[in-house]
Structure 1
Amino acid sequence: MCAAHVADERNFRSAYYEKVGCKNVEERKSLEILLKEKILDRVKLKQFCLRYSLPATYRNTVWKICLGVLPVNTDCHAFINDQRKQEFHEMMRALTIMKLIDFNTAKIKQFYAGFLLQTDSLRFENNFNSSRGFNEIVQFLLPLYKDDVEVYWIAKGFFSNLHSFDNDFPKLIESIIHYIEKEEPILYKHLKSIDALDNIPFDYYFDTFFSNTLNYPALTKIWDKLCGGSCNIFVFVFVSLLIHLKHVILKCRCLKDVLENLNKVNEDNAEVIFNKAIDMWQQGSHFNVHDKPKT
């Protein structure tokens, strides 16, 4: 069978699946094939995250692989999971002995204290003032997982991944402002007139992965892209958010009003915002090569 015929047949199947509401069937099969390998291909899994949204069934496993919580050798997974569990409980025990936490300490603060202990930062910090990003990630993950050990290690992976993007933040903010100025001039002029555009705390939204702005499940789909290695998804999420709330924002008279509306997105609107962001991201020409979904 020639390659062209195979491609035509695949395109026909994809069109059929989409027509009957099963457009993710082939993508799911592709992911299952990747996950059956004895030695997993982390690069291909990250590429999958960039191309598609992960099926909920496999999200936990893929996140762990992409974030380095689990190794690519599947024979080691049981052993590593056991080691992670032991390390977590020993860490909590050490923090209790050091009287930095007790049974009354909130889980989020326990986990952040553990993170500081592991990164040798406790000698530099004796409070939780700089814990914003880590705590917000933990808070979002807690309802998704029954196991605290999983929550901690995945949160740590995301937080470490986030800081690998720190140097890109100024460029991301510049891209957001440039996009709004070019594509939404009325919105841009209004935000400038109320002195809001230059004072929106973009870093806050990046640091917290939009966890205080967008609801599950839209947020998990954005985090899929972060696992794939994209930080530029932040640009398109924020632009989509501003455009979606455009008519409301145009009525705002100060930065406080703008921020209040940005943080009042319901689940249905969050899904619309995410889908629009993905469309813009896939069609955009000003993201890094490694961000662009492969065709």
Structure 2
Amino acid sequence: MADDPQRNFRSAYYEKVGFRGVEEKKSLEILLKDNPLDLEKLSTFSQRFPLPSMYRVHVWKVLLGILPPHSDSHNLVGSYRKEQYQDIREALKLESQVLPRCSEMSPPDEKNEDFLSISQAMEEIAENPVDCYWLIKSFITQFHTKFGDSVPHLPKSLEHYLSQEEPGLLSHLKNNGALAQLPYNLWFRHCFAGCLPESSLQRVWDKVISGSCKILVFVALEILLSYKIMLLGISRPEGVVKFLCNIPQENTDAIVTKAIDLWHKYCGTPIHAM
């Protein structure tokens, strides 16, 4: 019977098209019936199989079942409070097999503000918390893998392009000490999450996902250009930073459109620019 081609035609078909669905389903069902605290089995499953989207909700529930609670309950629907984003953060660590012992866990600190900002923005884009988790996982993983070495150099790129577009504004920012204090983390590490509204942010993130983190430089550049007169009238660096961290929200779509034009101007028609 083991050699009967009629018996295993589904497995053969799934493997032919690159989707080993039968084996994945059986493995995950076995995992879900076992003790959810068995991290080794969960890790083995995630290493053996590319995860089909239909099973993502199950793995999300397994992850939440393993993680210690950081709030009153693990909600699979509704809005998250800031503390609940730690569930997502620790779930990502668990999947990556770098989750510390419970005694070593601590609430999010300043080093995790970029993660939290992106997570909160992604919640507005995703339809539910499960999709939110997988979108955050993919976006942050790609961003750090592809652009981790480039992000520290983006402030210098911004200075270069500002010298080409508005050298007077650059001199002003240098002279009053604001250039070194611009909200680079908000712009380049948070990818403008918490700075731009959802509609504008999605257009920027589309470019980042398609392979360019340099679009972040041109969005920052266009923000400076768009508010040049306002910035030239501010003499203290803290005033500049306060304004740039709370820019008006009504014309951000226009800013992003102009930023994309500048991106094309300096980079041609980049498909996978840095």
Same fold (TM over 0.5): yes
1:126 match: 105
Which of these residues, 179, 189, 203, is aligned with residue 197 of structure 1? 179
Which of these residues, 251, 256, 261, is aligned with residue 233 of structure 2? 251
- Alpha-carbon offset, residue 101 of structure 1: 5.4
Q: CA separation of 1:289/1:169 partners in 2, compared to 1, >3 Å: closer, same or farther?
A: same
Q: Does residue 1:214 correspond to 2:196, yes or no? A: yes
1:94 match: 66
| 8 Å CA contact retained: 2:122, 2:132 | yes
2:73 match: 103
CA distance in 1, matches of 2:91, 2:236: 39
Aligned to 2:67, the other structure's residue is in SS state helix
Q: Deviations over 1:6-47 (max 9, x none)?
A: xxxxxxxxxxxxxxxxxxxxxxxxxxxxxxxx99xxxxxxxx
Q: Deviations over 1:84-116 (max 9, x none)?
A: 1111110000013xx555517743222112122
In the alignment of these two chains, the number of paired residues is 216
- Alpha-carbon offset, residue 156 of structure 1: 1.0
1:152 match: 133
1:69 match: none
CA distance in 1, matches of 2:133, 2:267: 36
Q: Deviations over 1:141-183 (max 9, x none)?
A: 2123332110000011111122120111233221110111232
Larger Rg over CA atoms: 2
Q: TM-score, normalised by structure 2?
A: 0.71
Q: Deviations over 1:51-70 (max 9, x none)?
A: xxxxxxxxxxxxxxxxxxxx
Aligned to 1:131, the other structure's residue is in SS state helix
Aligned to 2:98, the other structure's residue is in SS state coil
- Alpha-carbon offset, residue 247 of structure 1: 0.9
Which of these residues, 140, 143, 156, is aligned with residue 124 of structure 2? 143
State the AA in 2 paired with 1:175: S
| 8 Å CA contact retained: 2:210, 2:272 | no
- Alpha-carbon offset, residue 289 of structure 1: 6.9
| 8 Å CA contact retained: 2:186, 2:195 | no
The residue correspondences of 1:171-186 to structure 2 (distance < 5 A) are 171-186=153-168
1:273 match: 255
Q: Does residue 1:112 correspond to 2:89, yes or no? A: yes
CA distance in 2, matches of 1:286, 1:146: 35
| Runs of at least 5 residues in structure 2 that lack an aligned partner in the other structure | 1-16, 19-48, 75-80
CA distance in 2, matches of 1:289, 1:271: 21
CA distance in 2, matches of 1:149, 1:109: 14
State the AA in 1 paired with 2:189: D
The residue correspondences of 1:74-89 to structure 2 (distance < 5 A) are 80-89=52-61
State the AA in 2 paired with 1:88: W
2:149 match: 167
Q: TM-score, normalised by structure 1?
A: 0.66
- Alpha-carbon offset, residue 243 of structure 1: 0.5
Aligned to 1:291, the other structure's residue is in SS state coil
- The percent of aligned pairs where both chains have the same amino acid is 27
Aligned to 1:211, the other structure's residue is in SS state coil
2:223 match: 241
CA RMSD of aligned residues (A): 2.7
| Runs of at least 5 residues in structure 1 that lack an aligned partner in the other structure | 1-37, 40-75
Q: CA separation of 1:100/1:285 partners in 2, compared to 1, >3 Å: closer, same or farther?
A: closer
